[in-house]
Amino acid sequence: MNRNELIACHDCDALLQKPRHSGKGSARCPRCGAVLHRPSAVQLERITALTLASLFTFLIAQAFPIVELDLNGVTSQTTLIGALIALWNEGMELVAIAVFCSTFLFPLIELTALLYVLVPIRVGVVPAGFNLVLRAIQFVRPWGMIEVLMLGILVTIVKMTSLARVIPEAALFAFGALTLMLAVVVMFDPRALWDIADTLLARQARAAGPRQPGARASNGSTQAR
């Protein structure tokens, strides 16, 4: 049996034959019942829209102040980047870098990389560097920690209310919305894209004619995860 026709269940490691794209209905592992494959067309539309919305919300969350503090008439407000600069200036460079990566850099990479592959795949084109970008998404995904930041902000706000008047600003709501949106975005398994790219490349290879030795090889390489 062709190695590329096999798929391992990510829950129980059972080795199974890859489900054929039937259009509707999801395929489940016969041993543990984990979902192996979901119909991708509807999912693709939904996840592209949600990723785009998340990116806009992300930019709003980064550009606007999170909270405004009012202490005896003296007000001060800051954005996330402003807080990071303050951390850096206080001599906590490592903390500043860790927060920058987990709340700005990695989520931004994940969202833009997802859009980079999703938009062309939707119109039936496999973008350049497809495998590399998908691997990058899987690498940065566990390091994006917007939800941890959100929890930290909420705890801080509750603590601060006894010291000063805390006025929530636009970015706080944007971070709240972003936490929920990202929870849905990360439910999308980029592996589905590999399957779609496989189908597209196979179709392109067929359209290019049977005398295209390179086409089948590149199709096979998309399987190497």
Give the one residue of 4, 6, 8, 12 binding Zn ion; rule: CB under 5 A.
12
Q: Provide DSSP, 31-94.
A: TT--EEE--HHHHHHHHHHHHHHHHHHHHHHHHS-SEEEEETTEEEEE-HHHHHHHHHHTT-HH
32 or 151, CB closer to Zn ion? Answer: 32
Sites for Zn ion among residues 13-42 (CB under 5 A): 14, 29, 31-32, 34
Among residues 39, 192, 20, the alpha carbon closest in space to that of 121 is found at: 192
Q: The tokens 């990202």 sit on which residue?
A: 182
Q: How far apart are CA 188 and CA 223, in angstroms?
A: 18
# residues contacting Zn ion (CB under 5 A): 8
8 or 187, CB closer to Zn ion? Answer: 8
Q: Which helix (H) or strand (E) is 23 found in, with range?
A: none
- 11 lies in the binding site for Zn ion (CB under 5 A): yes
- 9 lies in the binding site for Zn ion (CB under 5 A): yes
Least distance CB 223 / Zn ion (angstroms): 20
Least distance CB 6 / Zn ion (angstroms): 13
Which residues of this protein are in contact with Zn ion, per CB under 5 A?
9, 11-12, 14, 29, 31-32, 34
